[in-house]
């Protein structure tokens, strides 16, 4: 019986996630931005994330407008800030990710689910 090769991991997916802002939840912009999700491109080519979305279980949705370089990551912060190649900002004035139970869903520009990460 031949071995079945393992499924290839998606080229773009989740890296680290900080869904519980450290310290007291003050709703300050600094506290909101300490809540984040990292999206990582594991491929050898840049990926145009234009039109891709990141959402939580309550359907709060962030829409990407960037190209993610090969072997690069971008951190999506909840609060307000100035977007760079490494950090983008949701622009929310409230926490997005629930500490007890939630799920992050990444979809491509056609609405296909690329990755899901959940926690309890």
Tell whether the torsion through CA atoms of 38, 74, 68 and 40 is positive or negative: negative
Tell me, yes or no, if the pTM score tops 0.85. Answer: yes
Structure tokens at 76: 């999506």
Query: Looking at the chain, how many residues does it have?
Result: 120
Q: Which residues 6+ apart lie within 8 Å of 37 measured at CB?
A: 14, 17, 18, 19, 54, 75, 76, 97, 104
Percent of the chain predicted with pLDDT > 90: 91
Tell whether the torsion through CA atoms of 6, 57, 36 and 39 is positive or negative: positive
Look at residue 10 in the predicted model and tell me its pLDDT: 78
């Amino acid at each position: 019986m031949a071995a079945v090769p393992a499924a290839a991991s998606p080229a773009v997916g989740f890296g680290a996630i900080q869904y519980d802002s450290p310290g007291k939840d003050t709703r300050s912009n600094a506290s909101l931005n300490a809540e984040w999700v990292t999206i990582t491109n594991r491929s050898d080519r840049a990926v145009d994330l234009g039109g891709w979305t990141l959402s939580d279980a309550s359907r709060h949705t962030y829409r990407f407008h960037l190209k993610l370089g090969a072997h690069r990551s971008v951190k999506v912060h909840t609060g307000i800030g100035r977007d760079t190649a490494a950090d983008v900002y949701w622009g929310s004035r409230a926490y997005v990710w629930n500490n007890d139970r939630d799920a992050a869903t990444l979809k491509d520009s056609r609405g296909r689910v690329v990755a899901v990460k959940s926690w309890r």
